[in-house]
Amino acid sequence: MKKILLFAGCVFAALGAQAQYYSYPTLMAGENPGGLNKDGENPYPAAANVGWSTVWNGGPGSATSYSSEQQIPFKFKFNGKDVTRYTVGNFGTVSFDAGTPSVRPSSFGTISLPSSEIPDNSVCILGMTPLSVAGSGITYTSAVMTKTFGKTPNRQHWIWFNFFGETNIKQGWTYWAVVLEENTNQIYIVDMKTLPVENNALITANVKLSAGIQINSTTAYTLSGSPNLGAQQTTQNIFDASDNSYYTFVQGTQPSGDILVKNVVMDPYMKIGDAPFNMAVQARNIGTSTLSSAEVHFSINGGMAVGGAVTGSTNIASLASGTLTSPAKWTPSATGKYTVKVWTSKPNGSADGNAYNDTATFNVQVVDRWVQRNMMNEIFTSSTCPPCKPGNENYEAVISGRQAHTTLKYQMYFPGTGDPYCTNEVRTRATYYGVNSVPRMEIDGGWDNNANSFTADLYDKTAAMPSFLEISGVAANKWKNTISLDVELNPLVDFSSSNLRLFAAIVEGETFNNKKTNGETKFEMVMKKMMPGATGTALSPMTKGTKVSRTLSHTFAGNYRLSLDGQTANHIKDATEHSVETFDDVYVLVWVQDAITKEIFQSKTIAVNNASNENLEVEAKVYPNPSNDAFNVEIDRLASETAKVQVSNIQGQLVYEGSMTNGKMTINTADWNTGVYMVAVEGASYHYSTKILVRH
């Protein structure tokens, strides 16, 4: 009789003395196991998949086959025995120390375990099929890829089944991985991404897979639901680990008492005035018995251990999570950086069944103050992208009435011919973040997702995170469209990174002329030029309390031109032309970012003053706007001189030129075509521009 270990009641239960593995699920974990793999989840091939090695790649015409034998980069035990190598089956197996296995299924599909078609000593995710999908200028195909994360002795080796298909999700795709962990000898099966698609539309469906560990053709340990195991999230094409789930396989028999410490419950920055601090951990009971008591201890910077029995009843059921707090508290002696080590012991008064997972280490900086965070929201979009319209509408709805943010929109060169306001600097930022689809949004260089997924809850949680950098500055359009910026940075803590960069982007508050095919008619906070360029300005590590000042400027040369599209050949040439529709609606966005980690520490939106010492919005009037038969121009400071007035259409063609005396004039528009026009007024001491809509 075949012996099968089934996952029941969320726990692998041993069915006799031969059981060698038990397991437990971590569903919708929001991260990968151990948090070591923070890479994006891009399809193959993708330039953003840095450091991954491809061991197999193919499309729908591929036959079931094996990769060449691969070396495990550290010591590892499978089923209690040392193994050094593995071979990958493109149908969903990782087989240990077998060379090229002698058995394989004749076709792709779900197979119930155990099975004589599957090699002995294998980790299995069966049911995936090779896939091929044509994208924008590229074809994505299935691949098996590998990469090692972490440092000795706590590394993980990932075997990633990237961009596979499955019968039930039609033309959709699914990503799964097998992970081998050094030191613990644990094996993880990771549910990374599944999107069911039919006729280019999302459908309601899920994969049906068979997953687990096969020891031989008579003994296997399979996940509940196999051979119909589904993915946990099937409604969003998320490119990071925020929606990932995973299943942990542990060698041996599940103990009655086993506390897994997930993390220290403490903010990375704490105000010294709020001391003493509670010392607690978020813990999970992975023992078979309900956790009713435990001890929590901690040490600071490797010093003396303090702590004791958790007061009150913990009452954490098997596989449930809860917070365990030490009876001792911590009062730091001064501001500064500290390493906090917290661990648990004695679940229900007995020794812990797995001592290796009882400890968490955390770095905290104790400070005297912080400031409000202005989150940096960078949105990649295009007027040729149909999903970008609801993405931008969702974004605008979320930020409505909220102030703790900076918005920067990059108009992209795809899909189709792309947005006319794309620039080479937009392309550079897209490459920096690995953007290969729109709409796409980055929050503080970390959250990387579709703008449709942006929520008020996410906004509020991000805004609640403190910032330790103050940014102040003044921006002005001093003369003939030269935008200058004087900015000051005030660090409230030490910033020790050698990769800090100051970025400044000149944006136009609203644009209209880049309207294309997706239904949008107005575009907000559109990037026009970065100062001095897309890679920013290098900063040295910053010391608390030592202010840093920088001055930047850019001159928009020549006249306005509307590009035909977003292709490289039609990009604006900064030395001779520009795409700013009006200079009375211009801002400079400033942010400080770590160029390597991509973390953004603070940002600020600075309005551009269109005169050196005066506010032209008060003294300059262009009305009515929209105009029917005529509009008026009134500028008080030109009452005693003659000024040149020019009006151009969206193609940059001059439609009117004249002189204004006494600071007033009327321009007839009865014969003009309906549309947006640029009005430029040049006096002896300053230049003013705006836009007007003519509507008959």
Same domain for 347 and 210, yes or no, is no
Domain range enclosing 32: 3-251
Question: How much is the pLDDT for 8?
Answer: 36
Q: What is the rounded CA–CA span in Å between residue 92 and residue 129?
A: 9
Q: What is the pLDDT of residue 306?
A: 97
Residue 87 shares a structural domain with residue 111 = yes
Q: What is the pLDDT of residue 139?
A: 93
Distances (CA, A) of 176 to 162, 186, 333: 7, 17, 47
What DSSP character marks residue 206?
-
Percentage of residues of the chain with pLDDT beyond 70? 95
Q: Are 417 and 475 in contact (CB under 8 A)?
A: no
Whether residues 510 and 470 fall in one domain: yes
Residue tagged 């707090």 (tokens) = 325
Average pLDDT, integer, range 18-37? 89
Query: In DSSP terms, which residues pair with 594 in a beta bridge?
Result: 500
Q: Please determine, for residue 488, whether its predicted confidence score (pLDDT) is greater than 80.
A: yes
Query: Could you tell me the two tokens for 302?
Result: 């490797």
Counting the structural domains of the chain, the total is 4
| Same domain, residue pair 383 and 325 | no
Strand partners, 309: 295
Residues 129/165, Cβ–Cβ less than 8 Å: yes
Claim to verify: residue 285 and residue 422 sit in the same structural domain: no
Distance CA 589, CA 587 (A): 6
Residue 2 has a pLDDT of: 39
Cβ atoms 679, 584 nearer than 8 A? no
The one-letter amino acid at 537: T
Q: What gap in Å lies between CA 385 and CA 108, rounded to an integer?
A: 36
What does pLDDT average to over the chain? 92
Does the pLDDT of residue 17 top 80, yes or no?
A: no
The mean-pLDDT minimum among 221-235, 411-425, 670-684 falls in 670-684
- The answer to whether the beta carbons of residues 102 and 95 sit under 8 Å apart is no
Name which residue leads in pLDDT, 200 or 64: 64
Q: Model confidence at 11, in pLDDT bands (50, 70, 90)? A: very low
When pLDDT is averaged across residues 621-639 and rounded to a whole number, the result is 88
Claim to verify: residue 299 and residue 322 sit in the same structural domain = yes
Identify the pLDDT of residue 209: 98
The whole-number average pLDDT for the span 284-312 is 95
Q: Is the pLDDT of residue 399 over 80?
A: yes
Dihedral sign (CA 285, 290, 292, 293): negative
Please calculate the CA angle 540-542-543 and round it to the nearest 5 degrees: 140
Residue 163 and residue 28 share a domain = yes
Helical spans, DSSP H, in 363-488: 388-399, 424-433, 456-463
Residue 594 vs residues 224, 495, 500, 535, 693: alpha-carbon distances, Å: 43, 10, 5, 11, 42
Indicate whether 357 and 387 sit together in one domain: no
Residue spans of alpha helices (H) in 151-202: none
On whether both 17 and 111 belong to a single domain, the answer is: yes
pLDDT of residue 318: 95
Q: Which segments within 90-235 are labelled E, that is strand?
A: 93-96, 122-126, 132-134, 139-149, 156-164, 173-181, 187-195, 197-198, 201-202, 210-216, 219-222
Q: Provide mean pLDDT across the span 353-362.
A: 93
Instruction: Specify whether 533 is located in the same domain as 599.
Output: yes
Phi, psi of 487 (to 5 degrees): -125, 145
Q: Which of 609, 635, 655 finishes a domain? A: 609
Q: Where are the alpha helices (DSSP H) in 612-664?
A: 616-619
Residues 6+ apart with CB under 8 A from 55: 67, 68, 70, 88, 144, 145, 146
On whether both 38 and 175 belong to a single domain, the answer is yes
Q: Looking at this protein, which amino acid is placed at residue 473?
A: G
Task: Give pLDDT tens digits for 473-484.
Answer: 999 987 778 999
Long-range contacts of 536-539 (CB under 8 A, 24+ apart): 536/501, 536/502, 536/503, 536/504, 536/593, 536/595, 537/501, 537/502, 537/503, 537/504, 538/500, 538/501, 539/489, 539/500, 539/501, 539/502, 539/592
CA 95 from chain centre, in angstroms, equals 33
Output the six-digit token pair for 468: 């330790």
Lowest mean pLDDT among 133-137, 449-453, 569-573, 663-667: 133-137
Task: Please report, for the domain that includes residue 442, its CATH number.
Answer: 2.60.40.10
> Taking 60 as the threshold, does the pLDDT of residue 541 lie above it?
yes
Q: Are 438 and 392 in contact (CB under 8 A)?
A: no
Q: Which of 344, 353, 298, 355 is nearest to 321 (CA)?
A: 344
Q: What is the DSSP letter of 613?
A: S
Residue 610's pLDDT is 67
Distance separating alpha carbons of residues 321 and 284, to the nearest angstrom: 4
Interval 415-459: pLDDT, tens: 999 999 999 999 999 999 999 899 999 999 999 999 999 999 999
The residue with tokens 């705006």 is 690
pTM recorded for the entire structure: 0.67
User: What is the pLDDT, as a whole number, of residue 578?
Assistant: 95
pLDDT-wise least confident of 81-85, 116-120, 364-368, 646-650: 646-650
Q: How far apart are CA 661 and CA 674, in angstroms?
A: 27
CATH of the domain at 654: 2.60.40.3080
Instruction: List pLDDT tens digits, range 543-599.
Output: 999 999 999 999 999 988 999 999 999 999 999 999 998 887 899 999 999 999 999
Strand 139-149 relative to strand 53-58: parallel, antiparallel, unpaired? Answer: antiparallel
Show which of 609, 627, 651 is a domain's final residue: 609
- Of all residues in the chain, the percent with pLDDT exceeding 90 is 81
pLDDT of residue 649: 83
Residue 694 has pLDDT above 80, yes or no: yes
Give the pLDDT mean for 76-91: 97
| Other Cβ atoms closer than 10 A to 541 | 12
Give the length of the chain: 696
Assign 99 to helix, strand or coil.
coil
User: Which whole number is the average pLDDT over 399-425?
Assistant: 97
Contact 195, 234 (CB under 8 A): yes
* 274-296: average pLDDT: 96
Distance CA 684, CA 659 (A): 13
Q: Does position 94 have pLDDT exceeding 70, yes or no?
A: yes
Nearest to 311 by CA among 278, 358, 275, 276: 278
Q: What is the mean pLDDT of residues 652-678?
A: 90
Output the CA torsion 343→349→355→359 (10° steps).
Answer: -10
611 band by pLDDT with thresholds 50, 70 and 90: low
Q: What gap in Å lies between CA 458 and CA 244, rounded to an integer?
A: 18
Q: Which of 251, 273, 296 is the last residue of a domain?
A: 251
Whole-angstrom Cα distance, residue 369 to residue 468?
8
CA-angle at 13, arms to 8 and 18, nearest 5° = 140
Taking residue 549's Cβ as centre, other Cβ atoms within 10 Å add up to: 10
CA distance 674 to 161: 55
Does residue 469 share a domain with residue 406?
yes
pLDDT digit string (tens) for 151-202? 999 999 999 999 999 999 999 999 999 999 999 999 999 999 999 999 989 9
Which secondary structure element, helix H or strand E, spans residue 529, and what is its range?
Answer: strand 523-531
Q: Which residue has the higher pLDDT, 613 or 512?
A: 512
pLDDT given for residue 9 in this prediction: 36
What are the helix (H) ranges across 569-633? 616-619
Alpha helices in 326-443 (DSSP H): 388-399, 424-433
